[in-house]
Amino acid sequence: MLRELAPQVLGALVRRHGQFDACEDAVQEALLAAATQWPEKGVPDNPRSWLMTVANRRLVDQWRSESARRRREENAAALDLPVKGTPSAHDDTLTLLFLCCHPSLSVPSQLALTLRAVGGLTTAEIASAFLVPEATMAQRISRAKERIRASGARFDLPPEPERAERLRVVLHVLYLVFNEGYFTSSGAELQRADLTAEAIRLARLLQQLMPGEGEVVGLLALMLLTDARRAARSDPDGSIVPLAEQRRELWNRAQIQEGVALLDRVLGTVATGPYQLQAAIAAVHDEAASADETDWPQILALYEVLEGVSPGPIVTLNRAVAVAMVSGPRAGLALLGTLDADERMANNHRLEAVRGHLLERAGDTVAARESYLKAAKMTASLPEQRYLTLQAARLS
């Protein structure tokens, strides 16, 4: 509940005082105070106004210092805004999300700021999820806020002509948060599973705020349909289990149903975008009772549409897998060959990993082994490195 209130309280404070950065610090302190006091003293009758009061007090404390007051006067003009009517907490949360994913910020800063200001996570939690010291993350967040101030951004929804492009950035940030947390095994990495849950929560929130946006629904569905396989995706020792070998009884049926229902609602009713299409592909996998029963012709057709909507080497790579399943490994390998000259794939391990897999299926174990080894050298993920090395060793 605390985390749900965080963006609402922050939005209201920024509306009242301007100064996104100071308000954000004050809300963070209020959240920390709540996290220590509420379990002891009980949750107050009106948690939202409790948080507002505490955050307000922190702001006032801060302004009492002379230098802070001067800064406020300088900044007030930059971030103070004309309040049009009474904006709802709903719009404020959405505005915050757009602000945190401001295009002037680097991607790591967008992720960190979104998790703190909209997600209500503490700096320590974010630092631990990204495996960096708290001081590093604190500095990154304060730097991001400085940058937003310097960019002259206002606390308002982006104007209509920019809205679609800005939403694309927001969706990408949520997608990256999800991706960062998706793989988990044990120990310190458990923190990263929390990131997946947080990404889903934020996507759900965004979907409630923008119910008519097909790609928002698509992203939420994609996350749910992908995360549904998490329990089956790795062994207890952390090693990767490929899709075809996963124990499907471990898949989360409720999440699959929710993802499919979301997709059914939007597919065909709004403009089809890449997240919806990727979600539709994930749904075909999730709905197959066994790997052998996967409807590969449908997956291939969806990849063809996806390539038309959002072409790129990764889409071609995935389409090659589908082609191989429908028309045999040699046909897939021929399509993969078209990627060899693509510079964007020069350091991507997935090209060689897929090639190894298809070569093995075609019976060329010597070349398959070589491809697996090349892929193992290129990946930046340790579980993947182990998996690919094992594939190569198996063929020795």
Partner 1 sequence: MKYMIMTFGSAEEALKHHSKEWFKDMIAFMHKLDADLKQSGELVYDEGLVDGSQAKTVRFQNGLPVPTDGPFAESKESLVGFWLVDVENEARAIEIASKIVAFVKAPIEVRRVADAPPEV
User: Which of 97, 101, 141, 202 forms a contact with partner 1 (CB under 8 A)?
Assistant: 141
Piece of the chain touching partner 1 by CB under 8 A; list 298-306, 321-329, 362-370, 383-391:
383-391
The reply to whether 109 sits near partner 1 by the rule CB under 8 A is yes
The reply to whether 385 sits near partner 1 by the rule CB under 8 A is yes
The reply to whether 106 sits near partner 1 by the rule CB under 8 A is yes
Q: Give which of 155, 144, 111 is closest to 19, Cα–Cα.
A: 155
Q: Give which of 234, 212, 215 is closest to 168, Cα–Cα.
A: 215
The reply to whether 356 sits near partner 1 by the rule CB under 8 A is no
* Nearer to partner 1 among residue 4 and residue 180 (C-beta): 180
User: Which of 46, 65, 88, 139 forms a contact with partner 1 (CB under 8 A)?
Assistant: 139
CB of 98 to partner 1, least distance (A): 20
The reply to whether 136 sits near partner 1 by the rule CB under 8 A is yes
Q: Give which of 285, 295, 243, 242 is closest to 260, Cα–Cα.
A: 285
User: Which of 133, 211, 268, 328 forms a contact with partner 1 (CB under 8 A)?
Assistant: 133
Between CA 89 and CA 108, with CA 29 as vertex, the angle to 5 degrees is 75
Instruction: Tell me the angle at which helices 66-79 and 20-41 cross, rounded to the nearest 10 degrees.
Output: 110
User: Which of 240, 241, 301, 334 forms a contact with partner 1 (CB under 8 A)?
Assistant: 240
What is the phi/psi pair of residue 234, to 5°? -140, 155
The secondary structure of 195-219 as a DSSP string is HHHHHHHHHHHHHHHSTT-HHHHHH
CA distance 181 to 309: 27
The secondary structure of 269-315 as a DSSP string is TS---HHHHHHHHHHHHHH-SSGGG--HHHHHHHHHHHHHHS--HHH
Piece of the chain touching partner 1 by CB under 8 A; list 60-68, 135-143, 212-220, 251-259:
135-143
Instruction: Tell me the angle at which helices 296-309 and 313-327 cross, rounded to the nearest 10 degrees.
Output: 160
Q: Give Cα 313 to chain centroid, integer Å.
A: 21
CB of 16 to partner 1, least distance (A): 29
Piece of the chain touching partner 1 by CB under 8 A; list 17-25, 83-91, 134-142, 149-157:
134-142
Piece of the chain touching partner 1 by CB under 8 A; list 128-136, 248-256, 294-302, 329-337:
128-136
User: Which of 179, 246, 257, 298 forms a contact with partner 1 (CB under 8 A)?
Assistant: 179
Sites of contact with partner 1 (CB under 8 A):
106-109, 130-133, 135-144, 178-183, 192, 226, 240, 350, 379-385
